[in-house]
Structure 1
Amino acid sequence: MQTYPFIEVQQKEHSFKLVSLPAGLLTRISYASVRRKDQEEGAVQRVLNNSRIAGIKDFALRMGDFPASIVLNWIGGRMTVNNGQVEISDIPKSAQIIDGQHRVAGLKAAIEEDPSVADYQIPVAIYENLDTAHSARIFISINTEQRPAPKSLVFDLYGVTASDLMDPAAIRANDIVSHLSAEGQPYNRWIKLPNQERQRGGIALSTAVNAIKPLVDSKGQLEQIGATELEIQKIIFSNFFSAIMDKYGHNWDDRANAFIYASGFIGAIEFFRSHMFDYCKSQSSFETSTIIDALSMDETSLILQEDVKGLGGSEAANAVRDRLISSFKPISASQGFKL
């Protein structure tokens, strides 16, 4: 048993102990109790995402900066405190993870590859014996009210270009896809997140991000016209898909619509890259009306999922792209750049 100095923090109904623990000890004593899977008090976690764990493992091996606290719910009996020190026994499953399960899993994977990671000091906030309701309230507070700013905005503000640690283009594309899936946007409810309940239709987050990523890369097409800011890029993609949505009207959310599937989304982005981008550039306008006017589509020529049924992934996306190209009716150039 080891003792560690701590700070007692009181916040309204609850208090917690803020303590620094070695990563090795943290990964041994803590565990994730999954909502609707583990039948115990305090079960609020989601199913682990293996890709996130791999990313955190790599980050831990390269850098190891973890300034944000892991939040635990201590269930291993009453904690013993003496002279500003708290006793922490090295006993498995002494504490449920309220927030930080992917960081803990990533650290554990990193320790398996490099045992020295076990000595990393990790800040930990420890609550004691919370029930499910109170654990859920803390979890919700952290994951909704305390959301960070879009990661790509950090690149805009601080010029962070640590490409060895993260992929700025993927982060930017992720922020754009998140915008497209927001309330009032074309893909609201149609972007499928990891561990989300299965549904017919929709585009996996990773699929949408990978489709957009080349366009927002440092040498991508949007940089060619100086459209490097997140807000401008969000408007461009929103306008493009809103124009296609306009052609479908009330049928947009119908599961027969090819554009609410992966092949439709990818095919649309390929059409944007190969034809619509240069056209909008020549028109000095990426407005929704400009794109609508360049697409000759009516109810008899809408692209439906049944039109690409039976085709492979890339073949189906190419079929959607080709149908959009056949509907593309550019008009003469106009004056002034507009969004």
Structure 2
Amino acid sequence: MNKIIVRPAALVKQGMLTLYATSLKVSDLLIPNFYSVETLDPDDDNDKGYQRLLNRARAKRLADYIVDGQDTKDAFLPTSIFMATDKNIDFNPTNNTIEINIDEIGPFSVVDGQHRVEGLRMATEKDTRVLDFEVPVNIAINLPKIAQMCHFLIVNTTQKSVEKGVEQRIYQRLTQALEIEDIPNLPKWISKTIEKGEDDLALKYVDFLNSDFESPWLNKIKMANETNNEGSINQQSFVKSIKKYVLVANNPITIQTTEKQHKIFLNYWKAITNILGIEEPTVLFKYNGVELFCKFSVPFFNKMINMPDFKVATMQQLLEQAFEEVEGDYAGVGHTDFWTKGSTASFLNSGAIAVINSEMVKALHKTNFKRDIEI
């Protein structure tokens, strides 16, 4: 198979970005080592991928459409595939062509359009005429991997949505790369998010809780791009609650070192589960449990400032006293039955969670735990 492709192309300059607007036949795309998709691996801490998982059903729908249009010659796919390489491509200005040597340039990263590429590949398995089908392609050259990830983020947050958990992971990696790698110009809201670094900090909490062998959350959080459905809550929701309630100025846990923050927060959940249990069926590890106890962590850790330590036993005693003082319709919040699937906690909305938190805060203020431990 020919590994050198010559195609007519238009040179496009967008600031520091150099693009070639061209078209490729599907047969070109399928040359071995022509392209790769940098998929985010949720199980690999060192993974540098950023793409969402492939939705095969979505790709198959496109394949069926392309195949159905072969006889009538009305298959229509005008949207450009965006590919990138960190290498240069020769451009001939006299005849406006580019020459791609796959062995030297490949594989191109598919920054945007992986479902189109896969759909076209699947279509060729059903009808070889698709090999001659042409698709518009924009190729960015001399674009480092970190910049390719940035452009994926820009395309998928300004033009269409990307799974929030994947977006959080990209924000985390960009935050970590701020001081060591050149990052291209980004929209203001993306830049502010990266510079603030909240996704990075919150994801470190979530990763710690999900991986520590003593954690009641061990393997209970469904990470971005995970294909199994075993997790009781997804990464996106947990990160959102941590950002909203834990990583805030009035939560005293944030004055501790990062490592100590994680251990204190883990002890907090150990104390909670020592009282409420971890056995299924429970909704404690669903959104309602996370939202309530992340919210409650602000007054709880403010109370803990006056405690002798942050040990599990100390937190558990304080929680038990607070639960005993809760009055009203939600007095059972400190009992296992309250959190059993199908029981009260299963049907809480945001308003009810706010009310329970308010009642728990009142109960917390009634406790006289400091005096009790000094006796």
Match of 2:295 among 270, 279, 284: 270
1:255 Cα deviation (Å)?
2.4
SS at match of 2:202: helix
Which residue number in structure 2 is paired with residue 235 of structure 1? Answer: 263
Q: Give 1:261's aligned residue.
A: 286
- Is 1:301 matched up with 2:335? yes
- C-alpha contact 1:170 1:209 (8 A) present in aligned 2: yes
2:143 matched residue in structure 1:
122
Please name the residue that 1:252 is paired with: 278
Amino acid at match of 1:87: N
Distance 1:2-1:261 versus aligned 2 partners, 3 A rule:
same
Residues in 2 aligned to 1:247 and 1:199: alpha-carbon distance in whole angstroms: 27
Aligned ranges 1:192-207 → 2 under 5 Å: 192-197=222-227, 199=229, 202-207=232-237
Q: Which residue of 1 aligns with 2:75?
A: none
Counterparts of residues 202-213 of structure 1 (less than 5 Å): 202-213=232-243
Q: Which of the numbers 328, 339, 353 marks the counterpart of 1:317?
A: 353
Q: Of the two, which has the highest radius of gyration?
A: 2
> Within the alignment, does 1:87 sit opposite 2:101 as a pair?
yes
- The letter for the 1-side match of 2:317 is D
- The letter of the residue matching 2:101 is E
Does 1:281 find its partner at 2:301?
no
Distance in 2 of aligned mates of 1:23 and 1:104: 14
In structure 1, give the amino acid aligned to 2:243: K
**1:272 & 1:152 partners in 2: Cα distance?**
28
Shift in Å, 1:318: 3.4
1:332 aligns with 2:370: yes
The answer for the alignment partner of 2:70 in structure 1 is none
Residue deviations 1:118-171, cap 9 Å, x none? 5441358xxxxxxxxxxxxxxxxxxxxxxx9x859949999xxx6364541122
Contact map agreement 1:268 1:324 (CA 8 A) in 2: no
Give the match for residue 13 of structure 1: none
Whole-Å Cα distance in 1 between the matches of residues 100 and 224 of structure 2?
A: 38
For normalisation by structure 1, the TM-score amounts to 0.51
Q: 1:1-339, aligned counterparts within 5 Å?
A: 1=5, 29=29, 30=35, 32=37, 47-48=53-54, 87-88=101-102, 103=111, 118-122=139-143, 154=176, 163=192, 165-184=194-213, 185-197=215-227, 199=229, 202-215=232-245, 217=247, 220-222=249-251, 224=252, 227-248=255-276, 251-256=277-282, 258-273=283-298, 275-283=299-307, 285-296=309-320, 301-302=335-336, 303-304=338-339, 305-308=341-344, 311-315=347-351, 317-318=353-354, 321=357, 324-325=360-361, 328=364, 329-332=367-370
Q: Relative to 1, partners in 2 of residues 1:2 and 1:196: Cα closer, same or farther, differing over 3 Å?
A: same
- Structural RMSD (CA): 5.1
Q: Distance in 1 between matches of 2:174 and 2:36?
A: 31
1:225–1:31 Cα change, 3 Å: closer
CA 1:152/1:289 → structure 2, altered by over 3 Å: closer, same or farther? farther
Letter in 2 for 1:259: L
> How much does 1:261 deviate?
0.7
What is the CA-CA distance between 1:233 and the residue it aligns to?
Answer: 1.6
CA distance in 2, matches of 1:238, 1:271: 15
Count residues with an aligned counterpart: 231
Q: Provide the TM-score with structure 2 as the length reference.
A: 0.47
* Cα 1:225–1:212 shift into 2, 3 Å: closer
* Residue in 2 that maps onto 1:16: none
- Structure 1 partner of 2:92: none
Tell me, yes or no, if the aligned pair for 1:267 and 1:319 is still in contact at 8 Å: no
Q: Which runs of 5+ in 1 are unaligned?
A: 4-20, 35-44, 50-65, 71-84, 109-116, 125-147
Counterpart Cα distance in 1 of 2:102 and 2:179: 41
Give the whole-Å Cα distance in 1 for the aligned partners of 2:288 and 2:217. Answer: 14
